[in-house]
Amino acid sequence: MALVVVSAKCDGPVLVVDDDDAIRESMCDLLADEGYPVLAARNGREALDVLHHEHPSLLVIDLTMPEMNGWQLIDAIHADAALSQIPVLVMTAASPDGADLPALRLLRKPLRAQTLLAVVAASCSHTAGP
C-alpha cells in the first residue's frame, strides 16, 4: 500500500541540521519541492545562529555532528524559553536509548522520502496557526 502524503504547510520554515552535505541538500530539496520554506545548517552552532535570526516552525536535527552535536543543540534549545516550544525531529543512524528522547520524534537513517514528508506534515499540522 502506498503512503499518500497531504502536505500541511508550517507557519515558518523547516530548519534541517546535518553535517552531511548530500543528505542535508537532498532533504532541503525534497521539502522545498513540496512547498516548505527551508533553512539549513551544518552543525548545532550554525543552527543556533540561524535560530537567533529566523523563526522556524520545525527542526530536523541529526545527532552526530562536529562542533556541536544534536544532543548539545537539543539541550541549548530546551534551555532557551524562546526556542523551547519549537518541535524537534531527531534523525540518526545510531540506536539511541529511547529514554533519552522525551517528547522528540525519532527518524531512522537512511530516511525514505515519503516517511520524512509524512512526519514533517504531521508535525507542521500540530504547529500551524488558525
Q: With respect to residue 1, please indicate whether it lies within any of the assigned structural domains.
A: no
Q: Mean pLDDT per segment of 10 residues, for the chain of length 130 residues?
A: 43 92 94 93 96 92 90 92 89 60 60 81 61
Could you please report the per-residue DSSP string of the chain?
-PPP------SSPEEEE-S-HHHHHHHHHHHHHTT--EEEESSHHHHHHHHTT---SEEEEES--SSS-HHHHHHHHHH-TTTTTS-EEEEESS---GGG-TT-EEEESSPPHHHHHHHHHHHHHHH---
Q: How far is CA 33 from CA 27, 30, 37, 45, 106, in A?
A: 10, 5, 9, 27, 23
27 in any annotated domain:
yes
In a domain, 70, yes or no: yes
Q: How many domains does the chain have?
A: 1
- Structural domain that includes position 42: 19-93
CATH number of the domain where residue 40 is located: 3.40.50.2300
pTM of this prediction exceeds 0.85:
no
Q: Which residue is listed with cell 499518500?
A: 4
Average model confidence (pLDDT) for the chain?
80
